[in-house]
């Protein structure tokens, strides 16, 4: 019996080592507009124009881990070629300390990740974005960004065919390049390999 417990324990330790070795311990964060200056950004959290009413970021630069930044650039290029559309990014990497602040203000797990678990934004692996035309004008997505209502859910169908089509274009294109849509926020997408990256708390500048 003791031998069995010992073997099980050893197996558990080995598995833990194996599973953590897949995590990239010190990932680099890259500023997306440094990689592609044509990408449009509108970082509401660097202004007071967001659901908290507070300035949460000291910079309006948007960072991701390199793999995610590259996938987002591919999304933008595909949209330009196929639909004459482009993306506008609202948020990318978010320091854990900011996540804690958001949670204090809005502790609802449907819309804000509990900092105990961390958000995929804290890993540089999530993006909030919308579609804009080639002049930078936002397409109608049915609600504004960070509208925490049922209307923002991706299975909410009581919207005009035009809005449903815009949402479908965004969701289908993001999926093509490795992103997973969020059920309650049409603007939020997680990168499929987010588990490879740790939660970070490096400040944005
Ligand atoms: Zn988000």
Per-residue three-class SS string for 134-169: CCCCECCCCCCCCCCCHHHCCCCCCCCHHHHHHHHH
- Cα of 114 vs centre of ligand 1, distance in Å, is 13
Exposure b/e, 58-75, CB count within 10 A at least 16 = b: eeebbbbbebbbbbbbeb
Alpha-carbon gap, residue 175 to 157, rounded angstroms: 20
What's the whole-number mean pLDDT along residues 37-61? 94
Structural domain boundaries in the chain: 27-196
* Per-chain mean pLDDT for the chain: 91
Tell me: pLDDT of 18 over 80.
no
Distance 94 CA to ligand 1 centre (A): 9
Cα distances (angstroms) measured from residue 145 to each of 11, 12, 20, 140, 187 = 46, 43, 35, 11, 7
Residue 130 has pLDDT above 90, yes or no: yes
**Predicted confidence (pLDDT) at residue 17 exceeds the cutoff of 50:** no
pLDDT band at 117 (very low <50, low <70, confident <90, very high): very high
Q: Give the integer Cα–Cα distance in Å for 134 and 142.
A: 20
> What is the whole-number distance in angstroms between the Cα of residue 126 and the centre of ligand 1?
6
| pLDDT for the residue numbered 111 | 87
Q: Is the confidence at residue 41, as pLDDT, over 50?
A: yes
How many Å lie between the centroid of ligand 1 and the Cα of residue 78? 22
Q: What pLDDT shows up at residue 120?
A: 97
Q: How far apart are CA 125 and CA 66, in angstroms?
A: 9
The pLDDT of residue 14 is above 90:
no
pLDDT at 156 over 70: yes
Class of domain 27-196 as given by CATH: alpha beta
Q: Are strands 40-41 and 188-191 parallel, antiparallel or unpaired?
A: unpaired
Measure 152 CA to ligand 1 centroid, in angstroms.
12
Cα(38)–Cα(134) distance, integer angstroms: 11
pLDDT tens track for 54-105: 999 999 999 999 999 999 999 999 999 999 999 999 999 999 999 999 999 9
Q: Kindly state the tokens that stand for 109.
A: 């797990």
Confidence of residue 146 (pLDDT cuts 50, 70, 90): very high
- Ligand 1 centroid vs 13 CA: distance in angstroms? 34
- Closest to 68 in 3D by CA, of 50, 52, 91: 91
Both tokens of residue 152? 């923002």
Residue given tokens 């926020």 in the structure block = 185
Residue 203: is its pLDDT beyond 50?
yes
CB crowding 12-50: b at 16 or more within 10 Å, else e: eeeeeeeeeeeeeeebebbbbbeeeeebebbbbbbeeeb
**What are the tokens at 155?**
């299975």
User: What whole-number distance in Å separates Cα of residue 164 and Cα of residue 142?
Assistant: 8
Per-chain residues with Cβ under 5 A from ion ligand 1: 128, 188
């Amino acid at each position: 019996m003791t031998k069995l417990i010992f073997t099980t324990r050893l197996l558990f330790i080995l598995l833990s080592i194996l599973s953590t070795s897949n995590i990239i311990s010190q990932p680099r964060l890259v500023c997306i507009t440094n990689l592609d200056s044509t990408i449009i950004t509108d970082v509401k959290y660097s202004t007071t124009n967001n659901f908290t009413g507070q300035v949460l970021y000291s910079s309006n630069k948007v960072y991701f881990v390199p793999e995610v930044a590259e996938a987002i650039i591919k999304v933008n290029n595909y949209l330009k070629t196929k639909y004459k559309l482009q993306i506008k990014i609202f948020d990318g990497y978010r320091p854990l300390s900011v996540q804690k602040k958001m949670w204090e203000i809005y502790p609802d797990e449907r819309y804000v990740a509990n900092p105990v678990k961390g958000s995929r934004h804290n890993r540089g692996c999530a993006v909030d974005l919308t579609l804009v035309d080639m002049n930078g004008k936002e397409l109608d997505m049915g609600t504004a960004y960070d509208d925490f209502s049922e209307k923002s859910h991706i299975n909410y169908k009581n919207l005009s065919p035009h809005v449903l089509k815009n949402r479908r274009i965004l969701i289908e294109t993001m999926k093509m390049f490795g992103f997973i849509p969020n059920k309650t926020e049409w603007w939020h997408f997680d990168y499929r390999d987010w588990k490879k990256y740790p939660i970070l708390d490096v400040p944005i500048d």
